[in-house]
Amino acid sequence: MKEFADWLLLILTLPTDNATARMRYWRALKAKGCAVLRDGAYLLPLTADDGMAEMCGSIGQAGGTAYLVRFASADETQEEEFRALFDRTDEYTNFRRSVEVVQRTLVGLNPAEITKLMRKTRKEFEALAAVDFFPNEASVRARSAWDELVQAADAVLSPGEPHSGEGDTQLLNRASFQGRLWATRRHMWVDRVASAWLIKRFIDGDARFLWLVSPDACPKDAVGFDFDGATFSHVNERVTFEVLAVSFGIDGEPGMTGLANMVHSLDVGGLVVPEAAGFEAVMTGARERGLSDDELLFEMGRVLDLLLAHFAATERRRAK
């Protein structure tokens, strides 16, 4: 016998004299991705339940009534009807059109404007994906459009952004990397500035840095990082900062996990790190001041010192 999805049906009434409460709950139900069966009846897949019982209690406290019913589709026809209520094809189509507009405007924007626009578009995509309970081809096309936009923005913000290679990350001896010349692409962004800070702080205290106009100009005696063909760059799912940390056994330092997650989030996305937005804003402001890469490393290095201490303190609190 074919099994059908389990559903939650929320049946509610709200006091007519409390427009604020009505609007608040309408917005909350929309944010959860609920489908409207009729006025006062909202449907949600059971697998998407996120605090619906708590919402029922809150509605009661606001002077309304709320009942939450769990049930399964009666037959295949009803199953298809319910699933159709959650079809996000039109929303994904609108998102793709928006992405096309954004991509056409990138070249004429400065880094701060691109960063702001990309953050806004990312939030739109993540909000849509969060309520896409039955993904289909439309979601695949939207994901592809988003990935292309990210690549286009990276090409403008950071020409020569490395591709991820495959392989194992071996533990290296720091003694072999002392007093070296380290080289990466100029006009640093998050992964490169964090990597340079990591090198200076934990790997090679006497490190000298060369900011390359092109990776092709990297001297043979220099240790390259964060470009294709460099000694240290993206490997598998790790960005350059993470590869360096693992290569030299720094990933176990207090606070380093949180810092690595933040850098990863800002460089390739995928993780939600609250501190990332603040670091990105500071980084954008530093670049807007027209600092040289040496000045940028000095300024952002102080911020990274503080963030490392913050993440270390957070780890200690969680361990108690």
272 sits in which H/E element? none
Q: Is 120 exposed, middle or buried (0-12, 13-18, 19+ CB in 10 A)?
A: exposed
What is the percentage of the chain residues whose pLDDT exceeds 90?
A: 60
Section 311-318 average pLDDT: 93
Q: Greater confidence, 20 or 102?
A: 102
Across 72-89, average pLDDT? 93
- Residues 184-198 have a mean pLDDT of 93
- Residue 61 CA to residue 316 CA, distance in Å, equals 38
26-41 residue pLDDT tens: 899 999 999 999 989 9
Sheet of 208-212: strands edge to edge? 208-212, 181-185, 223-224
Across 160-172, average pLDDT: 77
Mean pLDDT, the chain, rounded, equals 90
Residue whose pair of structure tokens reads 């049946």 in the numeric block: 11
Contacts of 122 (CB under 8 A, 6+ apart): 146, 269
Query: Given this model, what pLDDT does residue 271 score?
Result: 76
pLDDT tens, 103-160? 999 888 887 788 889 889 989 999 999 999 999 999 999 988 988 888 788 777 766 6
* Strands lying side by side in the sheet with 35-38: 35-38, 41-45, 6-13, 65-72
Q: What is the pLDDT of residue 240?
A: 95
Residue 297 Cα to chain centre, angstroms: 24
44, 7 in Cβ contact below 8 A? yes
pLDDT beyond 70 at 2 = no
pLDDT at 1: 45
Cα–Cα distance between 215 and 233 in angstroms, integer?
12
Quote the CA–CA distance of 245 and 289 in Å, as a whole number.
Answer: 29
Q: Tell which CATH architecture fits domain 6-84.
A: 2-Layer Sandwich (3.30)
Q: State the pLDDT at residue 18.
A: 80
Distance, in Å, from the CA atom of 23 to the CA atom of 29, rounded to the nearest integer, reads 10
* Neighbour count for residue 141 (Cβ, 10 Å): 15
Q: In the chain, where does DSSP find H-type helix?
A: 19-32, 52-61, 76-84, 89-105, 111-130, 137-157, 190-198, 240-247, 256-268, 274-288, 293-319
In our burial notation (b when 16+ CB lie closer than 10 A, e otherwise), range 208-226 reads: ebbbbeebeebeeebbbbb
Higher pLDDT, 85 or 110: 85
The domain segmentation of the chain, as residue ranges, is: 6-84, 89-157, 174-319
pLDDT in tens, 230-263: 999 999 989 999 999 999 999 999 999 999 999 9
